[in-house]
Structure 1
Amino acid sequence: MDLQDVIYEKMDGVAKITINRPEVYNAFRALTVKELIWSFRDAWDDNAIGAVILTGAGEKAFCTGGDQSKKSNSGYDSSGGLGGGIGLEVEALHHTIRSIPKPVIAAVNGFAIGGGHVLHVICDLTIASDNAVFGQAGPKVGSYDAGFGSAYLSRIVGEKKAREIWYLCEKYSAQEAKEMGLVNKIVPQAELMEAAEDWARKIVAKSPTAIKMLKYSFNADSANIEGISQLAMGSLAMFYNSEESAEGRDAFLEKRPTDFNKFRK
């Protein structure tokens, strides 16, 4: 596949998938999601691959979620994507990351915000650079992830903290994220990829069947969230048709404060 938004590399049993849109803080569009799914599925099918690293290009961002400039009142621009729903096959991407029988390590360089924050949450392990920033933005831009982005997040950090993250849309440092269990390890920015590759090589050296069965076991307890995610994405597709959702997108693009008060009447 001729990739435009993603860099896909394989070496010594490790696949590295890099979101390559640094000019927009690695925000994803429909094509980006399509290419991410393809890359993960290729790594899934390659028996020589034992671990996957997911990261973002540059030093400013891991991923900042959906590209608001590609979002219309009917969802995101689905040109180049798989079509349907909100115009982004995010649900399929989440399913692929969770289901691939190989651990996925998120190497978070800079901002992991919104849908990008959800991606790192779903990954098996997270290593963050010391300048990483975590947080949600959905309710600020007229969006949400009421599936894995919230239900699975609460399994990791607890319900009180998960509600805080979503309701307030604050930003958290790498150290704060580590303290709440969102991050496994923090390293200097210059050492991030080395640390991720070191962990990946350690995983590749282990029994592939044992690792696969362990991942399936870890996933089993939260497997019901997939059904919740389907309902959530269905409701999100309808929400994107509303003026309320459009207000969040327009305020972001126009760099002005949102005015959601008119929707409380």
Structure 2
Amino acid sequence: MEFQDILYEKYNDRARITINRPDCMNMFTNRTLHEMITALQSAWTDKEVGAVILTGAGTRAFTIGGTPAETDADALPIEKLPMPSLFTQLLHTIRTIPKPVIAAVNGYAIGGGHVIQVVCDLTIASSSAKFGQVGPKVGTFDAGYGSAYLARIVGEKKAREFWYLCKKYTAEECLQMGLVNAVVEPDKLMEETDKWVDTIVKHSPTALAALKASFNADSASIWGIQSMAGVALGMYFGTDEAKECGKAFAEKRDADVARFR
């Protein structure tokens, strides 16, 4: 498949998927999600790939999340699914591919972009990276992996802080809370990520696959929550409440949310 929104490279027993939309801080659309799923599925069955790296083009952002986009008339059926459904499929694919997936976070990992790095097996972050959620400010949410699984990593109180306050956190702060595995200077990000992967791809692929499945087992029930949350989010998008939050964010003002309590 020829990709438009991502770059897919294979080298030294690994695959690297790069969201290639730097002009919009790698914000993803339905097409981007479909292409990422397709690339991961290709890596899944490719015996030349022992691990997968996810990153974003440029230095400003890993990805700042998603925006629904009109789909071309000749698009594949999967590209015409509601964005929450495609996003759920992407997260599930990252979790279930029997190979380690490593996020190389090179800038802002916000909203859906933050959720993507949360579900990756490991995260290497640039010292200039910023992490956070914006959902309740802009009229969206992730009531699945982005919240329930996040709480397993950073703890209940900190996860609630992420979502209730919508603050941004530095890479060093995220390292201290166990949300990322390492922090390096921006110009060393891919070098350090490749060093980690150099070690991983030398290890038994069957052992790694079994370990990944074991790590996932305890939180496997979140898949059901994520699926239900995706349906709820699709319905919520059309409400006056969500529209008011989105409009207020675009207009740089506080949303009039009191009337929806």
> What TM-score, normalized to structure 1?
0.93
- Name the aligned partner's letter for residue 26 of structure 2: N
How many residues are paired up? Answer: 257
Partner of residue 117, structure 1: 114
Distance of aligned partners of 1:86 and 1:36 in 2 relative to their CA distance in 1, 3 Å threshold? closer
**CA displacement at 1:31 relative to structure 2:** 0.5
Structure 1 window deviating more from structure 2 (230-239 vs 76-85): it is 76-85
Are positions 1:215 and 2:212 aligned together? yes
Once the two structures are superposed, residues 218-250 of structure 1 have per-residue CA deviations (whole angstroms, 9 ceiling, x without a partner) of: 011100100011110011111011011112222
**2:171 corresponding residue in structure 1:** 174
Deviations 1:103-141 (A, max 9, x none): 000000110000000000000000000000000011111
Percent identical residues:
55
Instruction: Map 1:244-255 onto structure 2 (within 5 A).
Output: 244-255=241-252
**Distance in structure 1 (CA, Å) of the matches to 2:232 and 2:222:** 15
Which residue of structure 2 aligns with residue 6 of structure 1?
6
Question: Any unmatched runs of 5+ in structure 2?
Answer: none
CA distance in 1, matches of 2:128, 2:41: 30
User: Is 2:111 the partner of 1:82?
Assistant: no
- The 3-state SS of whatever aligns with 2:80 is coil
User: 1:73 — aligned with what?
Assistant: none
Q: How far apart are the structure 2 equivalents of 1:29 and 1:261?
A: 31
CA distance in 2 between counterparts of 1:92 and 1:135 reads 22
Name the CA shift for 1:88/1:252 in 2 (closer, same or farther; >3 Å). Answer: farther
Residue type of the alignment partner of 1:251: A
Query: Aligned residue for 2:231?
Result: 234
Q: Say whether the 8 Å CA contact 1:50–1:208 is kept in structure 2.
A: yes
TM-score normalised to the size of structure 2? 0.95
AA aligned to 1:125 is L
Q: Which amino acid aligns with 1:122?
A: V
The aligned residue for residue 56 of structure 1 is 56
Match of 2:105 in 1: 108
Give 2:32's aligned amino acid: T
Q: Structure 1: 5+ residue runs without aligned partners?
A: 71-75
Q: Give the aligned residue type for 1:53.
A: I
1:65 aligned partner:
65
Deviation at 1:260, TM superposition (A): 1.9
Instruction: Quote the offset at 1:259 in angstroms.
Output: 2.4
1:179 Cα offset (Å): 0.7
